[in-house]
Amino acid sequence: MKAPDQYHARPFPLSSFDQFVPQSYEQALQSEESPEWKNVMKNELKCMEDHDVWEMAELPKGRQAINNKWIFIKRNPDGLIERYKARLVIKGCNQKSGIDYYDTFSPIARLETIRLILSITAKHNMKLKHFDVASAFLNGHLEEEIFMKQPVGFEDGTNRVLKLKKCLYGLKQASRCWNRKFNQFMVSQGFSISNEDPCVYFKIDGEEKIIIALYIADGLVTATTDEAMRKFIEALEGNFKIVVKEATFYLGCEIHQGDGFITINQVAFIKKLLEKYGMESCNLVATPMEHLRMEMGEKKETTFPYRSCVGALLYLAVGTRPDLAFSIGCYRGVSNILQKQMLAVKESSTLS
């Protein structure tokens, strides 16, 4: 599928999904929707208070307080307007290794694992649910001593800072702390952790089976009985603030469950990609790789976001469209060859 010539004539097009979202606290106040943004910022601070994330303190001598910023969100995962949301994020790029953090690695469930769980669910006609842990990272206990400046726009006029007790979005170790917290909870509930995928938990009690996969804060639960599902959801609600939904949309994949079968697709994601890259009116082809042209001539200037497009297509190939893998790999290979040849020509010209 060849990109249209419009990329040579105009900048990278904005999708109709892209509407104005403030990039800073000042922009939020100046926007027409400032009352809504102010309200969600206050809600976020109330959430911090409920989770006992920090305490006011004087900054110790020789220490520096890390700055923070507001991130504004206006979309749910499928791109539709759902609600206004503001998130207070610490600027973790200013953290110092060995002082503010040590280990940062945290696993996530693999898409291959998700497909396997869905296959098991379909084969045994199991119950399927999706849960989302609200403000998940705020549940992780922080071991390091970290100080943060007061939230932008909500300073009290003093020189006091915030000593963090829980993890905050933006901290380099936040995801690791949350994963450790969730592991402790699952083990306390009698679950075993898979050796093959550390974000898969299972419990077998006779004929009753339950499997959970966790991708950061998004969980997929499958159980043989309604009772097993109910017990787990109740235990989860007793420890975290969660939203439980029917498993119809997970990690960008639409899930349709029938009697003894499950189908998955990424139709909404594909439509967004086609619109984003100006390919809504592209011609259909019988196979994902009908033509492969190696243009060895002069390289044209283009604003086409090649790496972003390839990354999105690779996500499709790993998720639900393995038939794209070969063609994507070939195009990537051709691009790499062309880049190396152009670099070699440039270097030889420089030497001569």
pLDDT of residue 84: 84
Q: Kindly state the percentage of the chain with pLDDT values over 70.
A: 81
pLDDT of residue 42: 94
pLDDT of residue 323: 85
Q: For residues 166 and 142, is the Cβ–Cβ distance under 8 A?
A: yes
pLDDT tens for 35-91 read: 999 999 999 999 999 999 999 999 999 899 999 999 998 665 555 555 788 999 999
Q: What is the mean pLDDT of residues 141-167?
A: 93
Confidence of residue 116 (pLDDT cuts 50, 70, 90): very high
pLDDT tens for 332-350 read: 665 665 555 556 555 555 5
Task: Decide if pLDDT at 225 tops 60.
Answer: yes
pLDDT of residue 338: 56
Q: What is the mean pLDDT of residues 251-256?
A: 91
Q: What is the mean pLDDT of residues 6-26?
A: 54
pLDDT tens for 254-307 read: 999 988 899 999 998 888 888 888 888 888 777 767 655 544 445 555 566 778
Confidence of residue 5 (pLDDT cuts 50, 70, 90): very low
Q: What is the mean pLDDT of residues 128-140?
A: 93
What does the mean pLDDT of the chain come to?
84
pLDDT of residue 344: 59
pLDDT of residue 256: 93
pLDDT of residue 108: 92
Task: Decide if pLDDT at 154 tops 90.
Answer: yes
pLDDT of residue 292: 52
pLDDT greater at residue 337 or residue 218: 218
Confidence of residue 322 (pLDDT cuts 50, 70, 90): confident
Q: Kindly state the percentage of the chain with pLDDT values over 90.
A: 56
**Three-class SS of the chain:** CCCCHHHHCCCCCCCCCCCCCCCCHHHHHHCCCHHHHHHHHHHHHHHHHHCCCEEEECCCCCCCCECEEEEEEEECCCCCEEEEEEEEEECHHHCCECCCECCCCCCCCCHHHHHHHHHHHHHCCCEEEEEEECCHHHHCECCCCCEECCCCCCCCCCCCEEEECECCCCCCCHHHHHHHHHHHHHHHCCCEECCCCCCEEEEEECCEEEEEEEECCEEEEEECCHHHHHHHHHHHHHHCCEEEEECCEECCEEEEEECCEEEEECHHHHHHHHHHCCCCCCCCCCCCCCCCCCCCCCCCCCCCCHHHHHHHHHHHHHHCCHHHHHHHHHHHHHHHHHHHHHHHHHHHHHHC
pLDDT tens for 155-173 read: 998 999 999 999 999 999 9
Confidence of residue 7 (pLDDT cuts 50, 70, 90): very low
Task: Decide if pLDDT at 176 tops 90.
Answer: yes
pLDDT greater at residue 176 or residue 328: 176
pLDDT of residue 327: 81
pLDDT of residue 348: 53
